[in-house]
Amino acid sequence: MALRDADVIDGKALAAGLRAEMALAVERLKRDHAITPGLAVVLVGTDPASEVYVRSKGKQTVEAGMNSFEFRLAEQTTEAELLALIGRLNADPEVHGILIQLPLPPHLNSTLAINAIDPSKDVDGFHISNVGMVGTGQDAIVPCTPRGCMMMLRRIYPDFRGKTALVIGHSNIVGKPMARLLLNADCTVIVAHKSSTNIPELARMADIVVVAAGVPGLVKGDWIKPGATVIDVGINRVPAGDGKTRLVGDVDFASVSKVAGAITPVPGGVGPMTIACLLANTLTACCHAHNLSESALSSAS
């Protein structure tokens, strides 16, 4: 067992630092090139959680000095109407990033909508072209949550070689791209999912455990190798008594934090990094659109 509680990885602080870097880069982009990155978010319907996410994304986009474009469409919007809007955004030079807020209403095909986005403006990193390029280790837009997780992990492991990682969950949004990024970094990667029968045994082998299973408190302390790093991507709302609810992750924080070397909390861990990485992806897309060096913006005085 670890001699002390795990270090808690402060996602809020890391995200604030990244957003500050983005704001400085945007300021220099405006000053030196008269260019303002623009992010368009498309929301179809009135899903309450999606409404919250869209408001938060819009607020942080503006705070970073970027242009925020919101398109709120009725629940009954047709596929043709949605695709037409995506086509207009693809052609708009003021829009450098396009995000389709998921989930879409059941009558709309999410895969069709995502793959209609110009890959160079796909700041979620979900377009099949970006997925394939990330999978083969090429330069591409990386999905926001896995990108944020990798940024957190690199603060602990500058070199992943010789490390073993377990990714619990194999969704297209988190699990699969997370595994690919770790593989690309020369980490030994194991992927488990709901059909896996020996997850605790696999977890005890891992130096890094990334959990994105959507099951509250799934991972227990006795699953974890002492000193391992645990990244909890889960966001679950559970009863808290008196009719109230609270947010918890996929990791039993109380027991795992007694064994792990480092752990992300929920809330305040991976979540803030996801939106910060969305802004970073938008800046990257903008720089690519104008053949500019993003690193030059970061190092400018």
Report residue 65 as tokens: 């000095």
Report residue 258 as tokens: 């007694």
Residues taking part in catalysis: 57, 101, 124
